[in-house]
Every structure is written in C-alpha cells, then in structure tokens.
Homo-oligomer: A and B are copies of this chain.
Amino acid sequence: MSGLHVFPSRRIRLTPFTERVEACHVTSYTVYNHMLLPSIFVSLEDDYHHLKAHVQLWDVSAQRQVEISGPEARRLVVMLSARDLRNARPGRCYYTPITDYHGRMLNDPLILCLDENRFWLSIADSDLLLWVKALAGALGLDVQIHEPDVSPLAVQGPKATQAMERVFGAEIAKVPFFHWRPFPFKGRPLIISRSGWSKQGGFEIYLDDHSMGPELWDALWQAGQDLQIRAGGPNLIERIESGLLSYGGDITRDDTPLECGLAAYCDLDAHEFIGRNALLRQREQGITRRLVGIRLEGKGLPQLRQAWRCQYNHRDAGIVTTIIWSPDFATNLGYAMLAAHVPIHEWVEILTPIGTKRAEICALPFVKIPQ
C-alpha cells in the first residue's frame, strides 16, 4: 500500500487536532465518518507495544455525535435502540446496536444520556444522522437533531488515569466505566467518559469547541511527558486481542446483532424498537451464521483488505473479516462470519492471497493458551 496517499479535499474533514497529529508524524490515516482518523504513527506493532505499556493521545474526532434533543428525544432514542433505554440515566453511556426494519445493523454507537431529553449518539462509520432525521421527520416527532461541534480526544493506556489526573484533578479517577462527568478545562466544562476503543483503560474527552483543540492536546501532552505519552490511534492488533468489533469491517449492514454476538445488547423482550420483529423471528428460528474468533499459526500473512473466503469440509462456510499477527498471543488472531454449524475448536481452510491456510475456530473473547 506504500504510496497510496489520501488526496486532500475539504470533503475529507480535518479535526481540531490534525495539526498536532501531523506534528507527531502520523504515517497512516483511515477515513471515518468523512473525517481523517489517524491509524499509525511509528508502526502497527510499535504503537501496539507502547499502548499496552504507557499512555497515548488518540484523535478520535471521527466518532461524530448525533445529538437528539427535545420533548420526544427519549421516545426516539428508545425506538432506535435494540438496547432498552427507557430508563437511561444522565451520566451513563450505553453501547447500543441500531438496526433497520429488517433487524440489520446500521451502526453501533455509544449513547451518552446527557439529560432526561438530550442524547449524544457517538457513532461508528455510517451516516446515522440521515437515519435519525428521516425517522423524526416522517413520524413528526418533536425533536431537534444535528451533528454538534464535538470532537472526542481519547486518552488510552495503563497510565491514562495518571495523565488525566494531572489535568483534570483526582476526581477523574472516580468516574466508573461507561459513565461520564463534566470536568472544567480552562473554564469550560467538558464531558469526559471512562471509555475508549481499547481494553487498556482510559477516557474520552468530548471537546465541544474545535478552537480549543490544540490547547487541550498540549495540556495532556505536557502532563504525560514523564509517562512517555505518545500520539496513537485505535490499534488493529490491540482491538482484536481485546475482542472489539469494527462496524463496516466485522459488522456490516447485512448482519444482525444476533449474528454478531451482540444478543446481550438486544432487549428483545423489553421494549418496541425498529427491527425488533425481525430479530424475534431470527431468535425463534435460530441464526444460520455467527461471528467467531479464528487462530492461524505462522507469520507473514498480508494485511487483509477484503473478506477472505473460508471453507469447512471443502465447502464454502463464510468469510474472514479481519486478521492480524498478535505478538502477545504469538499467533494470528481474527474474526470470521461463519455458518453456525461449524463448531468451535474445529479447523477451517482460509483462502488467503498467499494460499490456503488452516485456522482454528474459537470462542470470543480470545483466551491466551499457555505456551
């Protein structure tokens, strides 16, 4: 992929932190919600080792917010969410599958309940704003919907709390996982949640004034100097080791949450929501395919750019959605959407660009096998 640059254009939006990110020598971007999302600084493996040992600043502005407010905001959020959010409480964050009328995934945001009738859907890579606006308009709901000037900056890694305490005070350490609280920065209260797209611990700061991007970055950068702070981004190796799924990669709009292992986030017996009837039918009939883990020995696989076909007993059985070498597990780890009849611990053949390889199916999350 060397030499394949991102062509500059206003359509691929910069973030409040892009200047700082580029000063830190970002080497690889992805595009996410029409915005630059830094992927690599030193190298995938170097960034990974650093993330698991120290603390990183991640420009995740591309996690845009869909803000829903107004008298019927809660009603609309409940209608949208497979998870039962009738009793969502201010101060909490909820990971929530959002499905279409056929129960297929449109996005899997973290939903922040800001107030009784005000919510942020912190979205994965699809224009959920269009879905929400269309529903509100067609159903004549009394709500306002827009994408606010909010750009999350994530602080991730085992030393994240230390770095954050120095900027926001000791109280930050008391915020529980998937809760948010307001903390002042230069006189402006910022929403900060204990969350993030790694399992190394950390926070997301929802900066709601883009002009303050550089000073927020610099304050954390300064505070983290002796903690070996570096710029980073969601890391492919770490997120797979940790069992995190990527919408658009592992989950697509052809898949239901039940197929993706997200049944725990679908309160099918609790409330009415869009897609519920289809999901009730699928639960009743049983799923015919499911997302599983795979392990594949040996270094040297090329990086996956499109689904690789899988065979079981010489018949097509599904696809690999992502796979990468894990230094910690000393094997390649990945995900596959496979026919439900392929049992865990069975072996499948994967048609990789460098030939057919045998891989073992495993349950998620991944468990380290003692060497």
Q: If the complex has contacts A14-B305, A126-B127, A134-B135, are A246 and B9 also in contact, measured as CB distance less than 8 A?
A: yes
Q: Per-residue CB proximity of A227-251 to B under 8 Å, as 1/0?
A: 0000000001000000000111110
Q: If the complex has contacts A127-B126, A130-B131, A138-B134, are A321 and B1 also in contact, measured as CB distance less than 8 A?
A: no
Q: Which residues of B contact A131 (CB under 8 A)?
A: 130-131, 133-134
How far apart are the CA atoms of A270 and B26 in the complex, in Å? Answer: 52
Interchain CB contact under 8 A, A5 and B5:
yes
Interchain CB contact under 8 A, A8 and B12:
no
How far apart are the CA atoms of A138 and B296 in the complex, in Å? Answer: 45
Q: If the complex has contacts A135-B138, A137-B101, A248-B34, are A304 and B130 also in contact, measured as CB distance less than 8 A?
A: no
Q: Which residues of B contact A7 (CB under 8 A)?
A: 1, 28-30, 39-40
Q: Which residues of B contact A128 (CB under 8 A)?
A: 130
How far apart are the CA atoms of A101 and B129 in the complex, in Å? Answer: 13
Interchain CB contact under 8 A, B9 and A249:
yes
Task: Give the distance to chain B from A270, nearest Cβ to Cβ, in Å.
Answer: 21
Interchain CB contact under 8 A, B248 and A11:
yes
Q: Which residues of B contact A307 (CB under 8 A)?
A: 10
Q: Which residues of B contact A3 (CB under 8 A)?
A: 5, 27
Interface size counted on chain A using CB atoms at 8 A: 55
Q: Which residues of B contact A106 (CB under 8 A)?
A: 130
Q: Per-residue CB proximity of A1-22 to B under 8 Å, as 1/0?
A: 1111111111111100000000
A108 at the interface (CB under 8 A from B): no
Q: Which residues of B contact A29 (CB under 8 A)?
A: 4-7
Interchain CB contact under 8 A, A1 and B10:
no
A198 at the interface (CB under 8 A from B): no
Q: Which residue on chain B has the smallest CB distance to residue A6?
A: B4
A306 at the interface (CB under 8 A from B): yes
Interchain CB contact under 8 A, B28 and A246:
no
A303 at the interface (CB under 8 A from B): yes
How far apart are the CA atoms of A127 and B106 in the complex, in Å? Answer: 10
Q: Per-residue CB proximity of A260-273 to B under 8 Å, as 1/0?
A: 00000000000000
How far apart are the CA atoms of A3 and B5 in the complex, in Å? Answer: 7
Interchain CB contact under 8 A, B12 and A31:
yes
Among A5, A40, A250, residue most surrounded by chain B Cβ atoms (within 10 Å)? A5
Q: Which residues of B contact A69 (CB under 8 A)?
A: none
Q: If the complex has contacts A131-B133, A134-B135, are A30 and B13 also in contact, measured as CB distance less than 8 A?
A: no
A125 at the interface (CB under 8 A from B): yes
How far apart are the CA atoms of A261 and B106 in the complex, in Å? Answer: 33
Q: Which residue on chain B has the smallest CB distance to residue A14?
A: B306
Interchain CB contact under 8 A, B14 and A8:
no
Task: Give the distance to chain B from A244, nearest Cβ to Cβ, in Å.
Answer: 13
Having A7-B28, A9-B30, A131-B131, one finds 14 other A-B pairs with CB under 8 Å, namely: A4-B5, A4-B28, A5-B6, A5-B27, A10-B321, A12-B31, A30-B31, A34-B125, A106-B130, A127-B130, A129-B253, A132-B134, A134-B135, A138-B139
**4 closest Cβ pairs, A-B complex:** A134-B134, A11-B248, A7-B39, A138-B138
Which A residues are within 8 Å of any B CB, using their own CB? 1-14, 26-31, 34, 39-40, 100-101, 106, 125-135, 137-139, 236, 246-250, 253, 274, 303-307, 321-322
